[in-house]
Amino acid sequence: MSFFWGVRFWLRLIREILVSIIDVSKRCLNGDIDPVIQSVDSILAKPISQTMLANSITYTPGTVTIDVNVSEKRIFVGAINPRKREEIIPLESHVERWLGK
């Protein structure tokens, strides 16, 4: 565990939350909502790392973690619109460096 990467993770999470608040607000006002459930494969194997990643997804407006399959390294995410993998889990590399793979 690295203190530096822990701090970077939390700062980046705050940034992602703020950006998502603006994005979700715009989508709600414009009616640009197309709810989906997506399966996202993760590189993280440690349960604590997967949990932290899943929680960061839920903290971010517009997405919610529905289920985490630890053995298959898969996270099921509900989102207000279809997104690319990198847009759903932008903090995966930060979690990996902070808590380990």
Residue 96 clears pLDDT 70, i.e. is over it: yes
Q: How far is CA 30 from the centre of its chain?
A: 24
Q: pLDDT tens for residues 23-75?
A: 999 999 999 999 999 999 999 999 999 999 999 999 999 999 999 999 999 99
Band (pLDDT 50/70/90 cuts) for residue 1 is low
Token pair for residue 44? 């993280």
Q: Is the pTM of this model over 0.95?
A: no
The span from the CA of 38 to the CA of 66, in Å, is 10
